[in-house]
A and B are shown apart, each in its own frame.
Chain A
Amino acid sequence: MKIVLEGNHAASYAARLCRVQVIAAYPITPQTQIVEKLAEFCADGSLPARFIQVESEHSAMAACIGAASAGARAFAATSSQGLALMHELLHWAAGARLPIVMVNVNRAMAPPWSIYADQTDSVAQRDTGWIQFYCAGNQEVLDTVIQAYRVCEAVALPALLNLDAFYLSHTSEPVDVPDQAAVDAYLPPFRPRLLLDPEHPRAIGGLAGPDAYMEFRYDLQQAMDEAKDALVKADAEFRLRFGRGYGLIEARETEGADLALVTMGTLAGTAAAALPALRGNGARVGLARVRVLRPFPAEALRAALRRARRVLVLDRNLSPGSGGVLHAELAAALAGRPDPPLVLGALAGLGGRDVRPEAIAEAAAWALAPERHAEERLWLGLKR
């Protein structure tokens, strides 16, 4: 059934369709509507889950960790400062191999205070062992929550699902909400690998010495590698059942392009809107959207960018002292090729600054200029 949903509520409906059992959350703009709607679902009886409104985001993730360790399908939602406060426990959830799914509304980090879109909050968590999705539409938000539980529970990893503040969180779009029976057929009940069970007492998470710790990290990396295949398969099966799929990346006309634009989240929509004008100028310009940042889809990107002459990465995030995070990672992934493209980076839309198609066109013109070299960095629309 198609209904009009803002991105936040698409996440709430998806969590209900996934029959989440424990929800732990703390209010933070612009995420709050996600858990407000879930609280309503719990109150009206349409979602028989335990809703724990904890006293901090840190405790939200801690409660999810406890619940998942006791066998519950756990869900959380947060944003920005809240995600940063959870940092220690993001490591914990992944290290404990708990398939928690959390929606993060990408919002800039303070100071100065900002509630607007910026992906620095989540890319800063990329080393915590969570699968990371970046969505570009409200339908994708709903579909990705469902896919995320399927994949997470298969490979025993948590997933962070990101949507840009306001551009998705507070923007309404028609969203197809699938039937519960169809989701149930796609997503079986959670069967934990390890469980707190009085019939089979054991300690979980005890000290591992230097003779044992490294293997845990190896297994975590292996799980991420497995997750790549699991994601592709889960997405393919989703497409069969629901008629929609997204892949690890979405690329169009990037192979052999004069310039391939690469970005994450809603900037992809703006870039797509700029493409016709760019092609009208005679340049072959393609676009790739990275939907999954962890595990990093290096092979998919290498394939999509085969024979591309130049690549411009638009990052709505900043790793100060390095630059855009996707830029750095993509440059590393492409560096080993025999004839590597020139990989350029632009910082765009930080703190919710509006990025219009004309600005994308300017960035493309900058990237296509003959004198460009890899060390240059473009700050799109910077006022100085």
Chain B
Amino acid sequence: MARAETVGALPARELVSPGHLACQGCGAALAMRLVLKALGPRTVVVLPASCWSVINGPMLASAVAVPLLHAAFEAAGAVAAGVRAGLSLRGLDDVTVLAWAGDGGTFDIGLQALSGAAERDEDFLYVCYDNEAYMNTGVQRSGATPWGAWTTTTPIPRVKPHRKKDIVAILAAHRIPYAATASVAFPADLHAKVRRAAALRGTRFLHVLSPCPPGWRADPDQTIRLARLAVDTRIFPLYEVWGGADYRLTHRPRGLPVAEYLRRQGRFAHLTPEDVARVQAEVDTTWQRLLERCASTPRNRDTGRRDRKTSPAVGL
């Protein structure tokens, strides 16, 4: 499978038009652009309530050049299963069903429908674009909001006292064929993962960190920098999980101090040095656990996954 090593090698065709309604610097708009480039026009989007319900435009407008079905907030997994069934009855097995949900629609209200669909191994690609809070309604905490973050419902000094859910581990526990993290700051890696996912059948899951300048209290021109720092501080490492068991890193992060990431965002401005140290310790522990999982994965082991084509090992 061709792997785009650079942004310049990505497909030229744009399936997101410039007239969308996202805020300046929106990571979610960029994420959709990159994912649709990789999937191509034979795609149907299922869109539960999220920022993208607005970004795509009001009725009679649509920012994407593929069919898109708006859906109820908590229903993406089930609606996508139904759409898949309907398309397949029409012989459209080549069309990818893309469920596109935010972190609220995935970590919180949509988790049940997603879990049910994953357990049944429904045939779709589910992308969670994660901006780490309910941004469409004005920055309220979600199950994806990190510890210590300010939101409007976790105001200073009562900032979020709970950790972020490990959503990839939750999906991996369903032993779906493919789950991965991706970042808008690493478009080649993201592209390759979407292509790999598209070549599989069954439930595939992609977790894309999507910086939100208004919600993160950062300047719009910092989106890519923050997305890159999230990876290189190991807060959001890039990896994939095949068959729920085989973990592989797809990028070796630089291991920068988390303070480099935190200090650039107003939502963390209140954190004390002790708080930052706590975040660092948590990140270090989680990183070690990830390394152990990757180490216990025999390279190229046959995991019974159902590739349409052979997939290369993506080790480092």
Task: Give me the interface of A with B, judged by CB distance under 8 Å.
Answer: 21-22, 24, 50, 52-56, 58-60, 62-72, 74, 88-89, 92, 196-198, 200-209, 212
Contacts and interface: CB of A to CB of B under 8 A. Distances in A.
A22 to B, nearest CB: 5
A52 B88 CA distance: 14
A26 B296 CA distance: 39
A59 B87 contact: no
A11 B8 CA distance: 58
B53 interface: yes
Contacts of B53: 206-207
A58 B113 contact: yes
B138 interface: no
Given A72-B85, A89-B75, A212-B59, A197 B70 contact: no
A62 B82 contact: yes
A21 B83 CA distance: 12
B78 A63 contact: yes
10 contacts: A22-B85, A59-B77, A62-B82, A66-B82, A196-B44, A198-B67, A205-B69, A206-B60, A207-B58, A212-B59
Contacts of B254: none
A305 to B, nearest CB: 40
A54 B90 contact: no
B218 interface: no
A22 B289 CA distance: 42
B49 to A, nearest CB: 11
B83 A70 contact: yes
Interface in B31-54: 41-44, 46, 53-54
Nearest to A50: B85
Main secondary structure of the interface of B (DSSP, over half): mixed
B266 interface: no
A241 to B, nearest CB: 27
Which 8 pairs show the lowest CB-CB distances between chains A and B? A70-B86, A66-B82, A55-B116, A205-B70, A59-B78, A62-B78, A203-B62, A63-B82
A58 B77 CA distance: 11
A198 B81 contact: no
A66 B85 CA distance: 8
B85 A63 contact: yes
Given A65-B79, A198-B44, A89 B62 contact: no
Contacts of B284: none
Nearest to A70: B86
B216 to A, nearest CB: 25
Contacts of B67: 196-198, 200-204
Contacts of B4: none
Interface residues of B, number: 47
A237 to B, nearest CB: 27
B120 A198 contact: no
Contacts of B58: 206-209
A21 B87 CA distance: 11
Contacts of A202: 62, 67-68
Interface of B: 41-44, 46, 53-54, 56-62, 64-72, 74-75, 77-90, 92, 95, 112-113, 115-116, 119-120
Contacts of A54: 78, 81, 113, 116
Given A52-B85, A70-B84, A205-B69, 7 more contacts: A66-B79, A67-B83, A70-B86, A201-B41, A204-B67, A206-B57, A209-B58
Contact of A70 (B74, B75, B82): B82
A63 to B, nearest CB: 4
Contacts of B65: 201
Contact of A206 (B70, B80, B85): B70
Interface centre among A55, A74, A197 (most CB of B within 10 A): A55
Given A55-B112, A59-B116, A62-B113, A71 B70 contact: no
Contacts of A52: 81-82, 85, 120
B145 to A, nearest CB: 25
A120 B71 CA distance: 28
A66 B43 contact: no
Contacts of A59: 75, 77-78, 81, 112-113, 116
Given A65-B71, A196-B44, A198-B43, A206 B56 contact: yes
Nearest to B40: A198
Contacts of B92: 198
Contacts of B81: 52, 54, 59, 63, 66
Contacts of A198: 41-44, 66-67, 92, 95
B66 A201 contact: yes
Nearest to B65: A201
A70 B71 CA distance: 13
Nearest to A205: B70
Contacts of B61: 203, 206
A71 B69 contact: no
Given A198-B44, A201-B67, A202-B67, A88 B86 contact: no
Contacts of A212: 59
Nearest to B122: A52
B85 A69 contact: no
A15 to B, nearest CB: 15
A58 B71 CA distance: 12
B66 A66 contact: no
Contact of A204 (B66, B68, B77, B84): B68
Nearest to B73: A88
Nearest to A208: B59
Contacts of A206: 53, 56-62, 70
Given A66-B85, A69-B69, A201 B64 contact: yes
A366 B83 CA distance: 55
B70 A203 contact: yes
